[in-house]
Structure 1
Amino acid sequence: MAQADTGLTATEDSSLSLTLRHPPANIEAEQALLGALLTNNRAYDRVSDFLSGMHFANQANGRLFDIIARRIESGQLADPVTLRAELVNSDVLEPVGGIAYMGKLLTSMVGIINAGDYGRTIYDAWIRRQLIDIGEEVVNKAFGKSSSLSGPDQIAAGEEALFRLATEKGQDGGFVEFGRALTDAIVTAEKAFQNEGHVTGLTSGLVDFDKKTGGFHPSDLLILAGRPAMGKTALATKMAFSAASSLLEEAEATGAKPKGTVAIFSLEMSAEQLATRILSEQAQVSGERLRRGDIRQKEFDSFVRVSQKLARLPMVIDDTPAISLSAMRTRCRRLKRTKGLSLIVVDYLQLMRPSVGTKPESRVLEISMITQGLKAIAKELEVPVIALSQLSRQVESREDKRPMLSDLRESGSIEQDADAVMFVYRDEYYLQQRMPKEVSFDSKEKYSMALDDWQHKMSLVHNKAELILEKQRHGPTGTVHLFFEGEYTRFGNLDEIHDDGHHY
């Protein structure tokens, strides 16, 4: 039978057929569930943790569900008799035929055992309707010529809308039996007992820090802060490199692929600059001399040899400037799905943007949204997140310039959301600036005495740094003393031999 000529092109005909389609809905399931609730209020327990009135396709059914839920949650009986007065005096059931609609619901009821399945059917239809709405919005924005969002920003906005839908009430969750939680805790403790150094998480490569923290743990947000020139990036890079090295060593020992990847989001430095810094540290060739090409053949050979070794590391770098929270989340989710993900490093959080489409009223609120988002990423992907942060200039006005929690720029939300806050501090940097000048003294003897005193103080702090663990939800705070070599911007363990007898 020949198809009638509609006068439309194939594309137009396809578009028309799409618009004629009805949004996903299951009104029979809605009526059956409401009937079950009205007959036996215990059916509500099967759906209360994921279903609400907004998920119903029929508005009257949704409003009725909310009324029933409100009565049940207040400890009252919800049935046709107790609800009659409220429903008669309201317009809730007017679109569906009035109070007589209650009789239809009771004849459509299902057993309490099936209530959960009907509830999930309703919720699944709502998810599909939301996906259609998001898709239409993406298409309309893409066609819109006057849109204020660029193409990449529209992608990020679409991703953010999908993420909000994915985290909407109704996803898997709920209570965990205490026995199961205890089992998980015992497994973690057993791992620490069997592991040399008692590191249960991912190693930082810093022995004393790992002893205090047990390494980096899944779902934790760690803030590493410091003033400029203290070495924040160098220390974070050291931690990331050590974590990636441990993943590679574990994989090579078992003949398998690394179980995860270390992701570095470098918002300040390019990927090439960061790679050069790591190469400089590992090959022990000055980064400054590398940039000038002032190296000998032997050093260049070492540089190439180390680079071949580092190329195998399960580590990736994203140097997108001013990356948004939603874009970072999407890339991390994709990385976890394709290669596995074990650690995220963000350098640094003040250079990030909140999710596309959000317009915070103040900078403090913007930083709060970013830190909350980073904590959410850590929990969702079950990986530790290390975020670098700036410190306010008020540090410089004090005699003792060791940072405190109040020095965190836009500090309230950062301190609140973080599981651990640590500061990197080098006394040598500040002391170097206070080198005595001969013109400041009225005699050579006084200048000589001052210079000797300064040199003595410098010898005490030379090549030393402090990692001040100011907050830690899971353990003690305190200061970890580190080795720092300025020529290679390299951090390491201060002692050559620790009390466990191992060399580092």
Structure 2
Amino acid sequence: MPEPIRLMPAPADGAAPALPHNLEAEAALLGALMIDNRLVEDVQIKLRTDHFHEPVHGRIYEAILRLVDRNMIANPVTLKPMFDGDEELKGRGGPAYLAQLTGSGAALIGARDFAAQIYDLALLRALIGVGRDMVEKAVDTSESVDPKGQIEEAEVALYRVAEEGGEQGSVKSFGQATRMAVEQAERALNSGGHVSGITTGLDSVNSKMGGLHGSDLIILAGRPGMGKTSLATNIAFNAARRLIRDKEDGIPAEKSVGAAVAFFSLEMSADQLATRILSEQSGISSENLRMGKISQVDFRNLARAAAELESLPLYIDDTPGLTIAALRTRARRLKRQRNIGFIVVDYLQLLQGSAKASGENRVQEISEISRGLKQLAKELSLPVMALSQLSRAVEQREDKRPQLSDLRESGSIEQDADMVWFVYREEYYVASREPKRPGDGDDAKAFETHDQWMRDMERAFGVAELIIAKQRHGATGKVKLKFENRITKFSDLADDYPG
């Protein structure tokens, strides 16, 4: 019979292994803080009470923070009344222990190093806790066995440990918020104006909303054939390319208006998306690329475009049938490994909710998915763009421009979104109602009808509208864009366009 596998080496006496800690560092840091209260400013942003292994040390640290917050001096004398009834401190000598902590002034020199070590050891203990939970849940088969669900839970727990200590989700002083606002203004200045978030690569869109901002959920919706996937692909490419260009210009990543992009494509394969981007950059239609209808000159343009795009920080995940939990897990991993700054999901209705939500009804499942995407944007502090279908109600109206009520299962999507964009191309609808070409025997009305259609087609040709139906940060409205159907490319419309 084979030996059982040991998940952790057990101590010889059978006792549980000691958790990592350094009580001397904790004591030295507390002593330093009581000697020089100004050090509190350096350590309190990252170090919390529960990072101390010794509970009484955590309570002393909390008491020091409380006094300093009231603009009072925190030393053994002012702290003494707060610990008169503390039984654990009595076991260490009572208030005399507070004075004992300040015995070594040498701790002042290494206070920041002590704080860093206490924090790191707390992370190791948290990591051990995650590992123990994983083991306990994996060996417990008394309830329903769901290994994939356990893996996703473990990923979430590990991500929390990895992100521990950041300021995300914390209360920020006005000074911190002001610094962030100035940094955003600096990004806008470096970008040449307009953009304080991630650039869309479209000046007319950037000027309307200042780019795409962290923690925002952007819903990009449209009927089939409107080009919503093309627009999302264009924006993703533009953001990734801008990051590369800013890097070449010596602009650090944190000040760039570009971003590494994760593109979750639940409808199209990775090679189809790559073909679209190659088509846009080489000027060769994607249809001709797929069918090999290209000349030697075209092929050289294609090879040049492919070489330029080789290092593009655009990561495509084309796994079909992803659940919202699995998508969030993969996004966290890409954030950790590739430092992504923008996520695109194509499209929302192809995501799946949890088994529980799926078993109830589709509206509740979509509600769970849209809420999960918004939480992901906040958790990773980056913009998430999710594409969405529209209901067929659009087709029943004379004016085909979409409205918020046209969003399928719209209640939760509209509520969770910070911005809702609609793509509308009148050309698509005008082309579909082409009248019969008049012949020699037709009357004047037939010629007039066809001429009117030709004028409508000329006016609408190559023009798209981006309708901003909801925006938490600014005004709604429309932005007209140029759309080249042959290479599925959106770009800014010339200023002298008559429409």
**1:183 & 1:164 partners in 2: Cα distance?**
25
| Partner Cα distance (1:9, 1:222) in 2 | 55
1:204 to 2:203 alignment: no
SS of residue paired to 1:476: coil
- Map of 1:87 onto structure 2: none
State the distance in 2 between where 1:324 and 1:472 align: 27
Structure 1 position 239 matched with structure 2 position 205: no
- Larger CA deviation: 407-416 vs 349-358: 349-358
Corresponding residue number in structure 1 for 2:135: 135
**How much does 1:491 deviate?**
1.0
Q: Which stretch has the larger CA shift, 398-407 or 347-356?
A: 347-356
Counterpart of 1:352 in structure 2: which amino acid? L
Q: What is the match of residue 253 of structure 1?
A: 249
Contact 1:428 1:458 in 2 (8 A): yes
1:95-174 aligned within 5 A: 131-140=131-140, 149=146, 155-160=151-156, 173-174=169-170
Checking the alignment, whether the CA contact within 8 Å between 1:227 and 1:390 is kept in structure 2 is yes
| Contact kept in structure 2, 1:268 and 1:348, CA below 8 Å | yes
- Read off the aligned partner of 2:276 and give its amino acid letter: R
Query: Counterpart of 1:229?
Result: 225
Give the RMSD, CA atoms, in angstroms: 4.2
Q: How many residues align?
A: 416
Matched, 1:220 2:220: no
For 1:218, the aligned partner's letter is G
Q: Describe how 1:349-368 pairs up with structure 2 within 5 A.
A: 349-354=348-353, 361-368=360-367
1:131/1:166 CA distance change after superposition, 3 Å: farther
Provide the residue aligned with 2:315 in structure 1.
Answer: 316
One-letter code aligned to 1:432? A
1:244-283 correspondence runs (5 A): 244-254=240-250, 260-283=259-282
Amino acid at match of 2:307: Q
Query: Partners of 2:4 and 2:468 in 1: how far apart?
Result: 62
> Compared with structure 1, are the counterparts of its residues 152 and 297 closer, same or farther at alpha carbon in structure 2 (3 Å cutoff)?
farther
2-structure distance, mates of 1:210, 1:475: 12
Q: 2:159, 2:332 within 8 Å by CA — same for their partners in 1? A: no
Within 5 A, what are the aligned runs for 1:398-437? 398-437=397-436
Q: Which amino acid aligns with 1:182?
A: T
| Structure 2 counterpart of 1:203, one-letter code | T
Q: Calculate percent identity across the aligned residue pairs.
A: 46
Name the SS for the 1:198 alignment partner: coil
Please report how far the alpha carbon of residue 479 of structure 1 lies from its aligned counterpart in structure 2 after TM superposition: 0.2
SS in 1 for 2:420: strand
Distance (whole Å) between structure 2 residues aligned to residue 420 and residue 280 of structure 1: 29
> Which string of whole-angstrom CA distances, capped at 9 and with x for unpartnered residues, describes residues 294-320 of structure 1?
111111111111111111211111101
How far has the Cα of 1:183 moved from its partner? 2.8
Counterparts in 2 of 1:458 and 1:195: CA distance versus 1, 3 Å = same
Q: Secondary structure at the match of 1:399?
A: coil
Relative to structure 1, the CA distance from residue 24 to residue 430 in structure 2 (aligned partners, 3 Å threshold; closer, same or farther) is farther
Contact 2:462 2:483 in 1 (8 A): yes
Partner of 2:110: none
Q: What residue ranges of structure 2 are gaps of 5+ in the alignment?
A: 20-43, 51-84, 102-114
Deviation at 1:412, TM superposition (A): 1.1
Normalised by the size of structure 1, how large is the TM-score? 0.71
Q: Secondary structure at the match of 1:459?
A: helix
- Taking a change above 3 Å as real, the CA distance of residues 315 and 12 of structure 1, as seen in their structure-2 partners, is closer
Output the amino acid matched with 1:220.
Answer: D
**Amino acid in the other structure paired with 1:402:** R
Displacement of 1:255 after TM fit?
Answer: 8.5
Paired residue secondary structure (1:254): coil
- Whether the 8 Å CA contact 1:157–1:356 is kept in 2: the answer is no
Partners in 2 of 1:464 and 1:140 — Cα distance?
60
Range 398-407 or range 331-340, more displaced: 331-340
Match of 1:390 in 2: 389
Specify every segment of 5 or more residues in structure 1 that has no aligned partner in the other structure, as ranges. Answer: 1-7, 26-45, 53-101, 499-504
Moved over 4 A (4+): 12-18, 20-25, 102-111, 120-131, 146-149, 151-154, 160-168, 170-173, 255-260, 355-360
- Measured after TM superposition, the shift of residue 157 of structure 1 is 5.0
Distance 1:437 1:280 in 2: 33
Distance of 2:251 and 2:189 partners within structure 1 = 25
Q: Does the 8 Å CA contact 1:231/1:489 hold for their aligned counterparts?
A: yes
Distance in 1 between residues matched to 2:294 and 2:126, nearest whole Å: 64
Distance 1:181 1:360, change over 3 A: farther
